[in-house]
Amino acid sequence: MAAISINDEFSQLQRVIIGLGAPYQTNKNQVASEMAEFPFVPNTDRKREVLALTYPTEEILLREYADYVGILEKYDIEVLRADPGVAYSFDYTCPRDIGFVIGDRFFVANMAVPSRVDEIDTVRHLMANIDPDRIVQPPTGVLLEGGDVILIDYSTILVGINQRSNFRGYAFLRDYLSPLGYQVLPLEHNQLHLDCCLNPLGGGHLLIHPDSLKGNHAATWRILEGFRWVHVDAVEREHLATNVLSINPDTVIARSHVACTRVNNILRDLGYRVEEIDFDGVPATGGSFRCASLVLSRAVES
């Protein structure tokens, strides 16, 4: 059985499943018939673009994923891929949504969008290497997606609540994990997923767009205030400047995009190594590096 182990968002990355650039559906009529998520599209600057079905091409996605794999392998990270032969829909760019690891358990997400419910089948061949006793399926009625689950540290978990994950999703994770010693806190937000507006880094910093997080409990704010904030503005948030992937406590992968330049430079000034690559295809569908990466294993810090 393959080991899975995640205790935070920034320890040394070891094994990860990344998204697919192909097959990618280009027949807009078929896409429209498959997409039942129009009511779930957040009211952001990109809403008109998403509803107009202006999506990237396979050529762009394949090129950008190849560059992404190159960076990961440069750091000796094992890169796994979903099975394109099982892909039936139009978009397999963001496997973070369909599952996530906490500790030594793999949680299968309950998807809010009907067209993505069976997307988990594209990684069944990889799940076969995980101890089945460590695979957890939330009950019916629970909405819980990986982009809304953030491990602040080895014992504290934030669960975003909005359109893709509901209160029952938070309550399920709280009730399951609390006996195992975890503190699980809800965090209401107004973005597609929580990681579109918040992301903890290894140096004790927090990429955050506070205006996306209004109206939350004092206990949750106390957790967030324990970090040194790197404020992200509305435009930077819209271009997913928070949605970096930590390779290790000192290194992140980030978009090489003009809207992310200020944030990336701040991170460099704070001592982080920022690996910038062109990554515009996946953000055009609503996600970026964290969304495109279902992390299975990070090294346990001694």
Q: Nearest CA to 97 among 59, 48, 146, 56?
A: 146
CATH H-level superfamily of 13-298: L-arginine/glycine Amidinotransferase; Chain A (3.75.10.10)
The whole-number pLDDT of residue 67 equals 97
The mean predicted confidence, pLDDT, of the chain is: 90
Q: Is the pLDDT confidence value at 301 over 60?
A: yes
Q: Is the pLDDT confidence value at 290 over 90?
A: yes
pLDDT per position as a tens digit, 178-192: 999 999 999 999 998
Question: Are β-strands 135-136 and 105-108 bridged in parallel, bridged antiparallel, or unpaired?
Answer: parallel
Contacts of residue 244, Cβ cutoff 8 Å, sequence gap at least 6: 199, 201, 207, 252, 253, 254, 288, 289, 290
The whole-number pLDDT of residue 92 equals 83
43-52, 140-149, 267-276: lowest mean pLDDT where? 43-52
252 SS3 class: strand
Q: How confident is the model at residue 28 (pLDDT cuts 50, 70, 90)?
A: low
pLDDT per position as a tens digit, 75-125: 999 999 999 888 766 678 899 999 999 999 999 999 988 778 888 999 999
Q: How confident is the model at residue 4 (pLDDT cuts 50, 70, 90)?
A: very high
The whole-number pLDDT of residue 21 equals 86
